[in-house]
């Protein structure tokens, strides 16, 4: 997989409903490759790519990745210049305290009651977002309003950092890894036609991908995403969900989708037969665009291929290139096998 492309994509800001800069970058990248394709952008902002193969496909196969990332939105500016906010997408408040967030060029820090000010049971509790503020260093609402407005959205102020050659961490890995892999697929002419969608607004309820699927009307679809690897502190194999470094995650179920059982088995077997490491999720956890695509049009045979990612939906999502490589090899193979 293309590490440089992942780094660039993770560095772009694009919370749900504000994917413009990510979309712009993706459209530029698509333009720069000379593979035969038709690219359209729908009214919601989904990017749809019909990638022409050397021959027509026997089955319409859609591969989807979402462009948006989790973030925050300013809901109120207090008289003391502090910003009240809500999260866009599901963000565990445990990871928020002390985080830097960025509204365009304006940086703020998420704060709240300091631990030495908490008494009794409060010390043991994780404060909710309702008890936090974003501090941009202003002392009055008038001063803050010159820099930000209610309704402004922010992202974590973390670019992708390489901890080792094979190991990265940063914001927006979910799902810029998927976008990276789709762009790599789009740069090679497949044997048979495939359809790609870079969708909007996944993190706030799988809103864009279903619309994309209505346009494409796939028979078979694959949601390409990141999923939580809980293989850290004190976890056991049955609670880890999946493990970083153990290959592409192929799901049989999550909270939004019961995947097509025959397709699930076929993908695991294809991985095994071709020396591509795959694993599954051993807990029914999380959800992704599969939930919307599966129920579109007249129904879709659905699969999901995900990156095992630690600290998902945090400023420091951690993952391995080897897992991204396994995903890309698997997706190339599926583009070939599922279109026959
Ligand atoms: Zn995702």
- Please tell me whether residue 155 adopts helix, strand or coil conformation: strand
- pLDDT at residue number 120: 67
- pLDDT at residue number 242: 84
Q: What are phi and psi of 58, to 5 degrees?
A: -80, -25
Is the pLDDT reported for residue 115 higher than 70? no
| 14 Cα to the center of ligand 1, angstroms | 13
Q: What are phi and psi of 215, to 5 degrees?
A: -75, -40
Among the listed ranges 87-96, 123-132, 312-321, which one has the minimum average pLDDT value?
123-132
| 174 Cα to the center of ligand 1, angstroms | 5
Mean pLDDT in the chain? Answer: 92
**CA distances for 311 relative to 51, 94, 223, 227, 303, angstroms:** 34, 11, 20, 10, 23
| 66 Cα to the center of ligand 1, angstroms | 7
Residues 45 and 96 in one domain: no
| 222 Cα to the center of ligand 1, angstroms | 13
Span 151-167, mean pLDDT? Answer: 95
Question: What tens digit of pLDDT does each residue of 184-198 get?
Answer: 999 999 999 999 999
Among the listed ranges 51-55, 204-208, 326-330, 335-339, which one has the minimum average pLDDT value?
204-208
**Can you tell me the distance from the alpha carbon of 289 to that of 11, in angstroms, rounded to the nearest whole number?**
23
CB 298 within 8 A of CB 159: no
Is the pLDDT reported for residue 41 higher than 80? yes
| 54 Cα to the center of ligand 1, angstroms | 31
Strand partners, 310: 318
Total structural domains in the chain? 2
Half-sphere exposure of 299 (CA within 13 A, CB side): 5
Angle at which helix 173-186 crosses helix 20-32, to 10 degrees, equals 20
| 92 Cα to the center of ligand 1, angstroms | 15
Residues 176 and 152 in one domain: no
Tell me which of 19, 69, 184, 202 is the catalytic residue: 202
CB 73 within 8 A of CB 85: yes
The CATH number of the domain holding residue 145 is 2.40.30.40
Nearby residues for ligand 1 (ion, Cβ within 5 Å): 174-175, 225
Is the pLDDT reported for residue 285 higher than 80? no
Is the pLDDT reported for residue 164 higher than 90? yes
| 202 Cα to the center of ligand 1, angstroms | 7
Strand partners, 110: 134
Question: What tens digit of pLDDT does each residue of 222-259 get?
Answer: 999 999 887 887 777 777 778 899 999 999 988 888 99
Q: Is residue 320 part of a domain?
A: yes
pLDDT tier for residue 100 given thresholds of 50, 70 and 90: very high
Percent of the chain predicted with pLDDT > 70: 96
Residues 26 and 87 in one domain: no
Better-predicted residue by pLDDT, 286 or 288 = 288
Residues 191 and 312 in one domain: yes
The CATH number of the domain holding residue 297 is 3.40.630.10
**Can you tell me the distance from the alpha carbon of 135 to that of 158, in angstroms, rounded to the nearest whole number?**
17
Tell which of 123, 156, 189 closes a domain: 156
Q: What are phi and psi of 291, to 5 degrees?
A: -60, -35
Is the pLDDT reported for residue 286 higher than 90? no
Provide the token pair at 123.
């010390």
Among the listed ranges 2-11, 147-156, 283-292, which one has the minimum average pLDDT value?
283-292
- pLDDT at residue number 256: 84
Q: Is residue 44 part of a domain?
A: yes
Mark whether 202 is an active-site residue: yes
Among the listed ranges 84-88, 89-93, 242-246, which one has the minimum average pLDDT value?
89-93
Which domain, by its residues, includes 323? Answer: 3-69+171-337
- pLDDT at residue number 110: 95
Tell which of 124, 156, 188 closes a domain: 156
Residues 127 and 141 in one domain: yes
- pLDDT at residue number 91: 83
Provide the token pair at 305.
């291929």
- Please tell me whether residue 279 adopts helix, strand or coil conformation: strand
Residues 97 and 49 in one domain: no
b or e along 174-183 (b: 16 or more beta carbons within 10 Å of the residue's beta carbon)?
A: bbbbbbbbbb
Residues 150 and 175 in one domain: no
| 273 Cα to the center of ligand 1, angstroms | 28
Residues 276 and 208 in one domain: yes
- pLDDT at residue number 47: 97
DSSP code for 202: -
Question: What tens digit of pLDDT does each residue of 25-39 get?
Answer: 999 999 999 999 999
């Amino acid at each position: 997989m293309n590490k440089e492309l992942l780094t660039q994509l993770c560095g772009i800001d694009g919370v749900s409903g504000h994917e413009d800069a990510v979309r712009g970058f993706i459209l530029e990248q698509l333009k720069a490759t000379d593979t035969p394709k038709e690219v359209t952008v729908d009214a919601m902002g989904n990017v749809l790519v019909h990638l022409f193969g050397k021959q027509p496909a026997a089955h319409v196969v859609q591969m989807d990745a979402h462009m948006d990332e989790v973030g925050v939105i300013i809901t109120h500016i207090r008289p003391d210049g502090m910003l009240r906010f809500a999260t866009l997408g599901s963000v565990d408040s445990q990871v928020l305290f002390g985080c830097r967030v960025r509204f365009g060029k304006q940086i703020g820090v998420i704060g709240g009651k300091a631990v030495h000010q908490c008494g009794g049971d409060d010390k043991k509790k994780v404060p909710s977002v309702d008890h936090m503020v974003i501090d941009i260093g202003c002392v009055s609402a008038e001063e803050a309003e010159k820099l930000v407005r209610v309704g402004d959205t922010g992202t974590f102020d973390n670019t992708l950092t390489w901890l080792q050659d094979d190991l990265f961490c940063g914001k927006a890995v979910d799902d810029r890894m998927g976008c990276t892999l789709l762009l790599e697929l789009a740069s090679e002419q497949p044997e048979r036609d495939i359809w790609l969608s870079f969708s909007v607004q996944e993190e706030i309820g799988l809103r864009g991908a279903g619309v994309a699927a209505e346009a494409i009307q796939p028979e078979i679809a694959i949601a390409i995403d990141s999923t939580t690897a809980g293989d850290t502190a004190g976890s056991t194999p049955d609670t880890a969900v999946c493990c970083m470094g153990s290959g592409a995650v192929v799901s049989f179920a999550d909270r939004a989708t019961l995947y097509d059982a025959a397709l699930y088995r076929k993908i695991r077997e294809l991985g095994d037969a071709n020396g591509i490491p795959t694993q599954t999720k051993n807990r029914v956890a999380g959800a992704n665009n599969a939930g919307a695509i599966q129920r579109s049009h007249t129904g879709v045979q659905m699969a999901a291929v995900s990156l095992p990612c630690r600290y998902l939906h945090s400023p420091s999502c951690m993952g391995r290139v080897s897992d991204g490589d396994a995903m890309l090899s698997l997706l190339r193979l599926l583009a070939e096998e599922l279109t026959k």
